[in-house]
Amino acid sequence: MNKTALITGASNGIGYELAKVHASKGDNLVLVARNKSKLDELKSELEDKYKISALTIEKDLSIQGAAKEVYEELKDKSIKIDYLVNNAGFGDFGLFAESDWNKQEKMINLNILALAHFTRLFLPGMISRRSGKILNLASTASFQPGPTMSVYFATKAFVLSFSEAVNNEVKEFGITVTALCPGATLSGFQSAAAMEGSKLLDRKNIPSSREVAEYGYRAMMQGRAVAIHGFRNTLLANSVRFAPRSLVVKMARKVQEKKY
């Protein structure tokens, strides 16, 4: 019997590629995002190619209560979720004192509240079945403060800490929670966060969304608690533990700031 994966933020980037990876493994899909037309295009493509079934749900998860609405719709349709992929999220570039508070609030709602609420809603069913896996999109930003992207880095620190803690709580039931921590990735994230001029994007060989998605899928299936994509990112994420906090913040600012 096919398993079912719920993927948020499935209309582009890593979420879009994760949907393709799951479909290629024979999983049915529940695809959630704001852009219904993109979701429906993806649904048609994957159903035709892999002979799976996909349900698309148009939902702005930055609105409080949206996660519960998705949960109730699936409950009404008697759809159980075997793999929960909390991928949806966005960032914002600039000084916090000059930021648009409405955007910061939506970021917190999406990156933290929706992710935590989905996890709380679907975990009891997984526990009762003693089966299930959760993949939460964290970031290499999870490991240090991030001047010029202060709220985004803080939300990703939450995702990492939350995922590790819940993973510890549920592993006795045969369930795993994986925090996927990619670094800079070729996706629509940078444009949405107004990061085009950031020094962070000067790196060569920035991985594609597909590469990160495939790595994240493998890490989830292996039940890894924390999965940092790439040797360089792993080295940098772990090195901050041994440096003075004041230096870590200064270095993060230097890497993040714009070139002009």
- Local structure of 208: helix, strand or coil: strand
Positive or negative, the CA dihedral 34, 37, 42, 43 is positive
Q: Is 84 exposed, middle or buried (0-12, 13-18, 19+ CB in 10 A)?
A: buried
Dist CA 69 CA 223 (whole Å): 28
Q: Write out the E strands in 11-145.
A: 28-33, 54-58, 83-86, 132-137
Dist CA 219 CA 225 (whole Å): 8
Q: Phi and psi at residue 208, in whole multiples of 5°? A: -85, 165
- Local structure of 89: helix, strand or coil: coil
Q: Which secondary-structure segment (H or E) carries 200?
A: none
Q: Is 145 exposed, middle or buried (0-12, 13-18, 19+ CB in 10 A)?
A: middle
Q: Which of 152, 215, 217, 260 is catalytic?
A: 152
Dist CA 66 CA 126 (whole Å): 21
Q: Is 48 exposed, middle or buried (0-12, 13-18, 19+ CB in 10 A)?
A: exposed
Q: Is there a catalytic annotation at residue 50?
A: no
Residues with catalytic function:
152
